Structure 1
Amino acid sequence: MAKLPLGAQTLFIGIDGGGTKCRASIMTEDLQVLGTGVGGPANPFQGVQQAKDSIRTAAELALIDAGLPISGMGELIAGAGLAGVNVPSLFDVMSAWDHPFKEMHLTTDLHIACLGAHNSDEGAVMICGTGSCGYSFVNNQPLFIGGHGFPIGDKGSGAWMGLEAIQAVLLASDDLGPRTIMSESIGDFLQAKGMMIVDKMFGARQGDYAKFAIFVVDAADEGDAVAINIVKEGAAYMSGVARKLWATSPGRMSIIGGLAPRLIPWMDKDMADNLSPVLYQPEFGAVYFAKQALKAAKNNNDPLSATL
């Protein structure tokens, strides 16, 4: 196997695997990023083989970006946080994978997001992007809130807002609901109205609905009553999540995701004021987790026992 041309230092790869994409970054022990690659969906709940392929693709692209040989993947120590492995059977399947790395230390995507956000073993994090959920890790105890998946869950998320917006626009088109400026913005985006919107959205997925969230928050900022109601409901839910997480005394609490900056002003002020900026991205949290796992292994501890 080809050696990585960087001397005797240990190289890590942090893997953040979600339902939309997988992001991997190769780092030195002191967290200097050498290269980053992005692959496809890596939530094994949506397909185990797809998750494995996406991880491998992201790792290969990270090696190329770092100017390192792909054949040296077997020298990397991986920390991997994947969506879906909070389901015990999927954790077992991914743990049993004959992966291409020297070592792979597995946990959930929420855990690495939390570790990265606070650069610490403890903290709380909320995700408000395409989906939504909350997580805290305090005194070696994890707490998961939400994350039930779209469309039955993920309230306050971009996908949830998009679905609410489409429903409101269709009600308005039938004169069964109040008028909203979202009818024009979403209609222009889709180049459709009325039943043509239904036709356009046939078979739409979570990410497709999330594209409409920007129209909702923009309309709310312009004073549109329908949009305001949607945003307020979503913000109230995320405020409730924050309140439950803060009750675990995490020390620090952060919110991440593309929708987060637009939703924070609508959240309960006391919870918004308790939010701290993210220190590092999830890939850094994955490497942090891998380094902690190596330290625990030297002490004959099981580094995974407290992560799920």
Structure 2
Amino acid sequence: MQAEYFVGIDAGSYQCRVRLTDRQGNELANSCVKTTPLALDSSAAITAALTAVEQAFTHAGLSLDAQCQASAAFGFAGCHIGRIRQQAQAWPMPFMQHRVVSDLEVACLGAHTGQCGGVLIVGTGSQGTAFDGQQFHSLGGWGFALADQGSGAQLGRTALRLALSCHQGLTTHTPLTQALMAQFEQDAERMQLWASTATPSQWASFSPLIFDYAARQDNLALQLIDQLAADIDDLLAFLINRSQQGKVSLLGGIANPITPYLSPNSRRRLRKPLGDVLQGALLLARRD
């Protein structure tokens, strides 16, 4: 029996978006609700996603009973972790059929219209996935303490360590490290107190300053950015290889400023996304 409706769900950490289409691909309705990370409260996250789906059916003037004629694809943040994916997959669903993958995987399908390719997000953290035409190959997503190579958070932490080293006389100061220490009134104890509770996004907040000083040819800033670029080159090489030499979409807050520093080979393989996350989820919902 063929589905009459197709539902794409982008269930991020704090917002869940839904798009509903008919068999011909006509967009019938969209909806959006607040949510919570699946890893923190799977029940709340899945309930929010199903509520958003119900809203889309209601907006389209359809009975909720019509959900049993639908094929749905969920892209949940955090679903690259097996135990979290299993929790979502085991949840009772009202659809004819459904699939549960990570939000990054549906983003990858959308970015390359279902063809081979990869997606790498470099912002506060870093995470990527590659699609080889049959399966996904995930990379990263293990958090600040264990991973996040090529991220703003890691860049900020490395820079502050370097600034502290200069402050102690182990390395010669540059304008960048002086500017970083000025953030803490030239006080190592103040820096240590801040670092003891700093979140990844707070570490990443120093990234624009570092890029600014790299543009001014600050020697230490350029070293930091060159290392960041090398880390991202490594991540891109993995995704290019696993996607059968496909293109990769580089996304996130670090993507634009770091691109000029990447290797020529990496830059040749980059491509702007051809579609969005919901388009990717709908492509997955239509797969047999």
TM-score by length of 2: 0.80
Q: Distance in 2 between matches of 1:289 and 1:106?
A: 10
Q: Distance in 2 between matches of 1:61 and 1:219?
A: 50
Equivalent residue letter for 1:177: T
Q: Structure 1 residues 204 and 49 mapped into 2: Cα distance closer, same or farther (>3 Å)?
A: farther
Give the Å deviation of 1:247: 2.7
Equivalent residue letter for 2:107: A
Q: Structure 1 residues 73 and 110 mapped into 2: Cα distance closer, same or farther (>3 Å)?
A: farther
**Counterpart residue number, 2:83:** 89
**Counterpart residue number, 2:117:** 123
Moved more, 234-243 or 203-212: 203-212
Q: Distance in 1 between matches of 2:15 and 2:232?
A: 25
Q: How does 1:237-276 map to 2 (within 5 A)?
A: 237-248=231-242, 249-276=244-271
**Counterpart residue number, 1:25:** 18
Give the Å deviation of 1:72: 5.2
**Counterpart residue number, 1:134:** 128
Q: Structure 1 residues 60 and 107 mapped into 2: Cα distance closer, same or farther (>3 Å)?
A: closer
Q: Distance in 1 between matches of 2:169 and 2:54?
A: 51
Equivalent residue letter for 2:283: Y
Once the two structures are superposed, residues 26-49 of structure 1 have per-residue CA deviations (whole angstroms, 9 ceiling, x without a partner) of 2434374844536354242x4434
Give the Å deviation of 1:251: 3.2
Q: Structure 1 residues 186 and 25 mapped into 2: Cα distance closer, same or farther (>3 Å)?
A: farther
Is 1:286 the counterpart of 2:281 in the alignment?
A: yes
Is 1:224 the counterpart of 2:218 in the alignment?
A: yes
Q: Distance in 2 between matches of 1:187 and 1:32?
A: 53
**Aligned-pair Cα RMSD in Å:** 3.5
Once the two structures are superposed, residues 191-226 of structure 1 have per-residue CA deviations (whole angstroms, 9 ceiling, x without a partner) of 885322332333222222222222222222222222
Q: Distance in 2 between matches of 1:234 and 1:271?
A: 13
Q: Distance in 1 between matches of 2:129 and 2:194?
A: 35
**Counterpart residue number, 1:206:** 200
Equivalent residue letter for 2:198: A
| Contact preservation (8 Å) 2:16, 2:48 | no
Identity of aligned residues (%): 24
Q: Distance in 2 between matches of 1:191 and 1:100?
A: 58
| Contact preservation (8 Å) 2:80, 2:138 | no
| Contact preservation (8 Å) 2:6, 2:285 | no
Equivalent residue letter for 1:179: H
**Counterpart residue number, 2:230:** 236
Give the Å deviation of 1:113: 1.6
**Counterpart residue number, 1:10:** 5
Give the Å deviation of 1:250: 4.0
Residue 28 of structure 1 aligns to a residue whose secondary structure is strand
Consecutive unaligned residues in structure 2, runs of 5 or more: none
**Counterpart residue number, 1:3:** none
Moved more, 89-98 or 78-87: 78-87
Aligned residue pairs, count: 281
Residue 85 of structure 1 aligns to a residue whose secondary structure is coil
TM-score by length of 1: 0.75
| Contact preservation (8 Å) 2:19, 2:30 | yes
**Counterpart residue number, 1:156:** 150
| Contact preservation (8 Å) 1:136, 1:142 | yes
Q: Distance in 2 between matches of 1:128 and 1:52?
A: 26
Q: Structure 1 residues 172 and 47 mapped into 2: Cα distance closer, same or farther (>3 Å)?
A: farther
Give the Å deviation of 1:231: 1.5
Q: Structure 1 residues 115 and 161 mapped into 2: Cα distance closer, same or farther (>3 Å)?
A: same
Consecutive unaligned residues in structure 1, runs of 5 or more: 1-8, 297-308
